[in-house]
Structure 1
């Protein structure tokens, strides 16, 4: 399904994770994007990010704003595939299939807590290595080498939008992993540093509100960007209406 400039996979969580793991077995390489309103905003406003996302080849809908926009523009109701749930489901399948995971992002204590909790949840999970997300650009070559030397099959990058996708794109051709995915603040939640919104708030599309309560200074800065995303969708809808009536 085409949404704006993106080819979306209209799959549920389990089938998306299974397809990605099957790709690892068959030697395919997937650059995964869990599309939300902030990503669309950065894509529209940031030329470097726009060009980076042209390398993405597996996109799933995440975020209530994107789901509503799809319903408005495409006249289709699709299921949400939250990035953190996709990451966890991939980890579950990887633990059963002996696939190796590498984590890149967050502070060192956060990523080590994330590893501890992932191993408790999925005892068979093979964590091939990790590195914090606070490094100079000059260190990227060393980190790429570390990831390749770890023989990781799957790379989760938790450095936030747009930094994580820019880094993946910059190093995509040199990385030997088969699944590469930006996961935003998922390490903060899995580590226990932040709480995830209750299920009822997730169903109502209010996760952003819950996150804002926990991180007001960080999240309030994003609201103008989300408003601009909504305005872009409204403009696109009005253009479609005028085109249809003409």
Structure 2
């Protein structure tokens, strides 16, 4: 199966693939073995809202080969609209699962993003767990536009099978869409704040909160000054878009 053949629904003008975590990993590995590059992205409520007004972000997402639902709210929305997604495929969980796969099968990963001490900690953790053979390279996420081409070339020359980019949205989506033909790494994805979680700098919400769509509330609890307004605005807009799609879209 090629990415274009994966069952897909449309949600708020965005295609989302109907895949479980297990199916997503199988698709990624199948395409790597076939020598086909896979550009992966996840969407949550905030990203779907921002895509409505940010064309660069919209184009960067819809041009991806696999688009998973990261937020539980997206899964619930799909079911309410009677085009159900099977489950949430969180980007953080996918990266962890793919690193387990790297440890089992000898794939190499390149880690790009976060502060120097954070990305270094992530590399140290995976080196201790699986050995140096799973590390193709790493770089922090602080750079100028003038450095982007050099960074892309460095990643391309690293021999990585996986590229994980831990930079804020929409910067990471736009970077990957712009440079993927230079990078040529078989699997590329943005992972947001996952390096912070893996390194222990921040904690993910308890499982019961993740399963009940409350991970955003836990993030507000951790960073109230930065997160409360973001979620108050995007969650409200998401509900409005959802009602419009349910009752007004022809």
Q: TM over 0.5, yes or no?
A: yes
In the alignment, what sits opposite 2:199? 191
In the alignment, what sits opposite 2:239? 230
Q: How far, CA to CA, are the matches of 2:62 and 2:214 in structure 1?
A: 29
In the alignment, what sits opposite 1:49? 57
Where in structure 2 are there 5+ consecutive unaligned residues? 1-7
Question: Which range moved further: 118-127 or 220-229?
Answer: 118-127
Q: 1:210 to 1:109 in 2, by over 3 A?
A: same
Question: Which range moved further: 70-79 or 140-149?
Answer: 70-79
CA deviation map 1:191-234 (0-9, x unaligned):
10001111111111111111111111221131212211221111
Q: How far, CA to CA, are the matches of 1:237 and 1:120 in structure 2?
A: 49
Q: TM-score by structure 1 length?
A: 0.92
**8 Å CA contact 1:34, 1:62 repeated in 2:** yes
Q: How far, CA to CA, are the matches of 1:191 and 1:122 in structure 2?
A: 16
CA deviation map 1:9-60 (0-9, x unaligned):
3222122112202211111111101111111112111012122223211011
Q: Alpha-carbon deviation of 1:125?
A: 5.6
Q: How far, CA to CA, are the matches of 2:133 and 2:86 in structure 1?
A: 31
**8 Å CA contact 1:14, 1:89 repeated in 2:** no
**8 Å CA contact 1:63, 1:80 repeated in 2:** yes
In the alignment, what sits opposite 1:145? 153
Question: Which range moved further: 72-81 or 182-191?
Answer: 72-81
Q: CA RMSD in A?
A: 1.6
Equivalent position to 1:3, from 4, 10, 26: 10
**8 Å CA contact 1:21, 1:90 repeated in 2:** no
Where in structure 1 are there 5+ consecutive unaligned residues? none
**Count of aligned pairs:** 241
Q: Alpha-carbon deviation of 1:115?
A: 1.4
**8 Å CA contact 1:104, 1:157 repeated in 2:** yes
